[in-house]
Structure 1
Amino acid sequence: MPRLRERAVDAVEIMDDPHCDAETLRRTYANFRYVNAVVSGLRHTYRRDIRPRLSAATDTSLLDIGSGGGDVARSLARWAARDGLRLTVRAIDPDARAHAYATAHPPLPGLDFRRALSSDLVAAGERYDIVLSNHVLHHLNGAELGALLVDSERLSRGIVLHGDIERAPLAYLGFGLGTWPFFRRSFIRADGLTSIRRSFTWRELSAVAPPGWTVTREVPYRLMLCWQAPAVAPAQPAEGRRVHA
């Protein structure tokens, strides 16, 4: 097992290579839904943080940053529809291969995919009620992480939820053993182990989180980096205001 004392920021995932095998990459995207069902904690995040913000009467908007093959965005759209709640989901990823895979599936009401960066949406003045990402933080260096968090604050008028893996020996061993019999014809196992090596610990992520952001530990070996938009005080009625000379 490799040393996990520090982030392996120079390690590169195979699927990030623009020249990696296209069919193996396609199978990797297809298998993400099985892996995320076990390790992402997405269902719990939906029940605890997202569903209470949704309504059957009015639309709530959600932005999924770095959506990859689109399994997270599709799951959220389906769960909200099954619960009779109105949720519009925009999923963005700058990778043309991920965008092509995501858009090759049958469309879902209220869900759209766009090939874009978070900075593109900021420049366009877009805002969303909920902004989230899944397994994106470990891909970023310090400057990129800072830029993402600034963009997230500008894009969200409600809550931001960035979930990722926490680097730990047991996480590495557990993922390695748990995926050994499976995913042989994809990049899931190799890239998953690289992802763990690149990931933050709770202490590391807390140290770089800007003011107003909180980091919590979740099961299994997950971190949630959160931000809540400041509440806007209601305007006082004209007759209730004091005028100072």
Structure 2
Amino acid sequence: MMNKFSQRSQAKELMDDLQSSGSELEQTLRELKTINLLLGGNTVTTSGLEMLIREKPQELYTIADLGCGGGDMAILIKRWAEAKGYRSKVMGIDANPHIISLAKENGSLAKVDVDFRLGNVFDQEFLEGQADILTCTLFTHHFTNEELIQLLTNLKTMGRLGLVINDLHRHFLAYYSIKGLTALFSRSKMVKNDAPLSVLRAFSRKDWEFILQAAGVEKFKISWHWAFRWQVICWF
């Protein structure tokens, strides 16, 4: 039984369909927002941002949240920066047009100035953009090791200061906990399928060390946070 945790799963999540839309998707995004909030995952991203910002003080920070989903993290980053007194321009980027539409609605309702854009992180057009700091929250596990190596290799040319990754730790306790909780409380078939699968697609520390070194990232820091999260900070 433990063998399923020995290496990353290659199975695709329902959310990987870039044309997914409708009420099921909206319910999924609402539930994922709640799960992330309750399990304390948001601070993994903001504490990483704090580290990069303190090391390189400047007047304005351009922050791009990749795979922004419904926009919750991008909105949180903007509010966090304002509360800290950091001037920022925050962008949210996602390849699903339906998700970007929802993110724009959420940003408008929240009355937060975030620029939500449709974009695929593997497209040359996307790579021509520039940002001071890039963030990926629960995004990187959607890709294979090979895809991540290519992505990180490309992102080194885009982020001026660095990258903050916040993603899951592949662990049997995390898997069975989220599988049980979503079976009991979720109303979304997508969440019931994708939440436990995302843990199987997640990472060990050795996975991250291999991926980062293969991508030629010379300076990085990997740290574990509750609940079963890896924070990976890369300096470019």
Which TM class, normalised by the smaller chain length?
Answer: 0.7 to 0.9
What is the aligned partner in structure 2 of residue 200 from structure 1? 203
Q: Is contact 1:121-1:155 (8 Å) kept?
A: no
Matched, 1:90 2:95: no
Q: Is contact 1:175-1:193 (8 Å) kept?
A: yes
User: How far apart, in 1, do the equivalents of 2:85 and 2:62 lie?
Assistant: 15
For residues 103-125 of structure 1, give each alpha carbon's deviation from its aligned partner in whole angstroms, at most 9, with x where no partner exists: 123434441100012342323xx
Report the aligned-residue RMSD: 2.5
User: Could you tell me the percent identity over the aligned residues?
Assistant: 24
What is the aligned partner in structure 1 of residue 132 from structure 2? 129
For residues 164-205 of structure 1, give each alpha carbon's deviation from its aligned partner in whole angstroms, at most 9, with x where no partner exists: 101110111221233333222352232110101111211122
User: How far apart, in 1, do the equivalents of 2:165 and 2:117 lie?
Assistant: 19
Matched, 1:189 2:192: yes
**Cα gap change, 1:14/1:79 in structure 2, threshold over 3 Å: closer, same or farther?**
same
TM-superposed deviation, 1:130: 1.1
**TM-score of the pair, normalised by structure 2:** 0.84
TM-superposed deviation, 1:209: 1.6
How many residues in Structure 1 have an aligned counterpart in Structure 2? 225
User: How far apart, in 2, do the equivalents of 1:106 and 1:206 lie?
Assistant: 35
Which is helix-richer, 1 or 2?
A: 2
What is the aligned partner in structure 1 of residue 141 from structure 2? 138
**TM-score of the pair, normalised by structure 1:** 0.81
What is the aligned partner in structure 2 of residue 236 from structure 1? none
User: How far apart, in 1, do the equivalents of 2:107 and 2:76 lie?
Assistant: 13
TM-superposed deviation, 1:145: 0.5
Q: Is contact 1:51-1:80 (8 Å) kept?
A: no
SS in 1 for 2:103: helix
User: How far apart, in 1, do the equivalents of 2:29 and 2:232 lie?
Assistant: 24
Deviates more, 1:35-44 or 1:96-105: 35-44
TM-superposed deviation, 1:44: 4.3
Gaps of 5+ in 2: none
What is the aligned partner in structure 2 of residue 219 from structure 1? 226
TM-superposed deviation, 1:31: 2.2
What is the aligned partner in structure 2 of residue 69 from structure 1? 70
What is the aligned partner in structure 1 of residue 22 from structure 2? 22
Between 1 and 2, higher relative CO (CA 8 Å, sep ≥ 6) is seen in: 2
TM-superposed deviation, 1:42: 1.9
2:178 alignment partner AA: F
SS in 2 for 1:132: strand
